[in-house]
Homo-oligomer: A and B are copies of this chain.
């Protein structure tokens, strides 16, 4: 589809296959044995690689089980957001969209992760740490936008403060969308995006709103 890889070399294909095998094995073992009892030895055995190879692909057991956090687009996409002048949160939706879509790309992985998250609360807790870098990036991005809007410096205290607030709150809305999506058991990315758009839009109506209908 995306004609970027004419024919991935054998080496590349094997690497991707091994990586995916370890990812799937990790979550399967956690599902079957529980998070605490899941060992790298067992995961490696299931994935059919040596324990040493496991650590060639993932820096830690957590990384394989939890996955990495979502990502922001490249500089071009970021600049587009900085220059946009729509509603702040509506524009944020557009810039968050590709990263969210990508993070739920592997269908099997998403389904496995979901069952694990529900039964293993410690996994959900640890996953939070992966959001920290993402939050940091979002805050920096919002600061760029606010600085551009107001002509102030990105390091101006007022900009920093406001960007932090907007960034943190936006990521909170993103997590809200994600949690509700997981809860509802919807498998597709489309529903997640719709929920994300809705959650972000809700931020602008926090003052007026009460409980939903």
Contact = CB atoms under 8 A, between A and B. Distances in A.
Contacts of A208: 207
Contacts of A171: 172
Contacts of A150: 210-211
Interface centre among A172, A179, A183, A203 (most CB of B within 10 A): A172
Contacts of A160: 183
A91 to B, nearest CB: 14
A158 interface: yes
Contacts of A207: 203-208
Contact of A124 (B125, B126, B132, B210): B132
Interface residues of A, number: 41
Nearest to A145: B211
Interface in A22-76: none
Interface stretch (A13-21, A102-110, A162-170): A162-170
A131 interface: yes
Interface string A107-138: 00000000000000000111011011100000
Contacts of A168: 172-173, 175-176
A158 B125 contact: no
Given A124-B132, A203-B206, 16 more contacts: A128-B128, A128-B129, A129-B129, A149-B210, A150-B210, A152-B211, A164-B179, A164-B180, A165-B176, A165-B202, A168-B173, A172-B172, A203-B207, A204-B206, A205-B207, A206-B207
17 contacts: A146-B211, A150-B211, A158-B211, A158-B212, A159-B211, A161-B180, A161-B212, A164-B176, A164-B180, A165-B173, A168-B173, A169-B172, A169-B203, A204-B206, A204-B207, A205-B207, A207-B208
